[in-house]
Amino acid sequence: MIELEEVTYGYGAGTLLSGISLKLAPGSFHFLTGPSGSGKTTLLKLCYGDLVAGQGRVALFGQDVRNMDRDDVALARRRVGVVHQDCQFLDHLSVAENVTLPVIVAGRAASGVESDLDDLLGWVGLSTQKEALPPELSGGERQRAALARAVIMSPDVILADEPTGNVDWEMSLRLLTLLVELNRMGKTVMIATHDMNLIRQAKAQVAVRVLRISNQRLQLAGADL
């Protein structure tokens, strides 16, 4: 699905990530952890082609990102659902319109997925907020709406960047449950988080692989949790 080989990435003169190798196999569940500023978000961005590695190789669904033009990257992103910590909504559109945005930009009629949309909003518990605007939602509701948008195209991979960063523990568990459900449906999931309790909770429900970024490198970090 997504493969990184000896990837190095830096901002300006400094190196943030070095010699990163990672393979997201179909149906796997990964946690990506590490201190703030260690490069978790950068690594996620490399995984969906938002950034291009300085060195090494990143392959999205078998295609080397360096050989992909912007249209190819756009098409690949339709197979990757991304949940950002700040959600990235269009505030002038309703929750329903934001959730169906990936369908609209793919050139399909939103009316064709109306029943899917209702199911999806019911699944994330936002049926009554369908016509609300994003600024009217709470932090947890925004994260769930972002998750609904990430999965409406039934992507192969779901990448979530600190999805529980702005919500209370109860809402974190609710979001985790949704992501675990998606993984049980066969979706590949990777969550960047520094919340160790969330990782422990996930390990109790599903087989997860925990990776840690430390000193620019990626290490397996499951044993000490």
Partner 1 sequence: MAVLSKVLVFVTGDAQADRVVPPTGFTARLTGLAAGSMAFLAVFALALSLASGRLADRWSDALAQSSTIRISATEDQMDAQVLAVLEVLATTPGVLEARPLSDDEQNTLLEPWFGPDLPLDDLPIPRLIEVIEDAGGFDATGLRNRLAGEAPGAVLDDHTKWREPLVAAAGRLRSLGYLAMLVITATTAIIITLAANAALAANAQVIRVLRLVGARDAYIARAFVRRYTLRTLTGAAAGTALGLGAVALLPGGDPAGGFLTGLGFQGAHWLWPLLIPLLAALVAFAATRMTALATLKERS
Nearer to partner 1, 40 or 77 (CB): 77
Nearer CB in complex with partner 1: 85/205: 85
Judged by CB under 8 A, the residue of 4, 120, 121, 153 near partner 1 is: 153
Q: Report, in Å, the least distance between residue 225 CB and partner 1.
A: 31
Residue 93 interacting with partner 1 (CB under 8 A): yes
Query: Judged by CB under 8 A, which of 21, 88, 127, 197 binds partner 1?
Result: 88
Quick one: which segment of 3-11, 89-97, 137-145, 216-224 binds partner 1 (CB under 8 A)?
A: 89-97
Identify any residues that bridge with 57 across adjacent strands, giving them in sequence order: 5
Provide the minimum distance between the beta carbon of 76 and partner 1 in the complex, in angstroms, as a whole number: 8
Interface with partner 1 includes 97 (CB under 8 A)?
A: yes
- Give CA–CA dist 169/163, Å, rounded: 12
φ, ψ dihedrals at 4, nearest 5°? -120, 135
Nearest Cα to Cα of residue 98 among 135, 55, 123, 71 = 135
- Among 13-21, 69-77, 201-209, 216-224, the segment contacting partner 1 (CB under 8 A): 69-77
Number of residues that bind partner 1 (CB under 8 A): 25
- The nearest distance, CB 24 to partner 1, in angstroms, is 18
Q: Which of 12, 14, 62, 71 binds partner 1 (CB under 8 A)?
A: 71
Q: Which of residues 103-122 bind partner 1 (CB under 8 A)?
A: 104-107, 109-110
Closer CB to partner 1, residue 71 or residue 170? 71
Query: Which residues make up the interface to partner 1 (CB under 8 A)?
Result: 50, 70-71, 74-75, 77-78, 82, 84, 88-90, 92-93, 97, 101-102, 104-107, 109-110, 149, 153
